[in-house]
Structure 1
Amino acid sequence: MWMTVGEQRFAITLADATAAQSLAALAPLTLEMSDLHRNEKYATLPRALPVQASRPGTIRNGDLMLYGKDTLVVFYKDFNSTYAYTRLGHVNDTSKLAQALGQGTVQVTFSYD
C-alpha cells in the first residue's frame, strides 16, 4: 500500500491482520489528518474497523495504528505510550516522514497505485 503526502510517497507494509485488510479495502482513501503532541497525525475513518488492540509500550516512527475503532494514526516519532492500539502496518522508509507530515493538518492519501 502507498501513503502520499504532498509530493512524497511512502510504501507501507500492512500487518497480517483483519483490521489492516479492512483498511486496505477502503483504498483509495484521502484524509485530512490533524497533528497531536507533535509525534502523530490522526483522522477519523469513514467506517469502523475490526479491533484487536494491545498496548505496544514503545511506538516507532512510521507505525500505522488504529486507535479505538475508527481513528487512523500515523506516528512520526519514537516514544513510549500506555495507550492501546490495533497495529495496521508500518511505513517502510521513514527518513523523510516527519518532514513530509510537517506541523498542523495535512492531506494524506492511501492507495495501491
Structure 2
Amino acid sequence: MSTDEAETPEEHRARLAARQHAQFDLMAENAEAIARVADESATIHDQIGDHLPSAAAHADRDRQLAAAERAAAAAFRERELPSPEVRAAIRNARPGPEELAQLRNTTEKPDR
C-alpha cells in the first residue's frame, strides 16, 4: 500500500490482524519442526544407548523438548503465547554448560 492511499481504521486493523495471524502460524510451524527434530534425536539416542552412557538422559530430554514444543505450537495456533510452564520446559530441555563443554570436547578434532 502506498503512503498516499487512505486506509480506514478497519482496514488497518484487518491488515495488522492478518500479519499477526501469519506470524503465529509461522511460530507454530517452527515449533512443530523443532518437535520433529527432537523426536528424531530421541530415537537416535535410544539406538546408541548401549554405546553412550549419557544417551538415555539425552533421549529423555529430547522427548520433553518435543512435548513442550508441540504444546507451544498448539498455543500459537490458538493465537496465544505458550504458558510460562511450557516456556520453562523448553528452557530446561537445553543442554547445560557442563554438557555443552563435554560435547565440544568430543567433537573437536585433535591438533596435528
Q: Which of the two has higher C-alpha Rg?
A: 2
Higher helix share: 2
Compare relative contact order (CA 8 Å, sep 6+) and give the higher one, 1 or 2: 1
TM normalised by structure 2 equals: 0.25
Higher strand share: 1
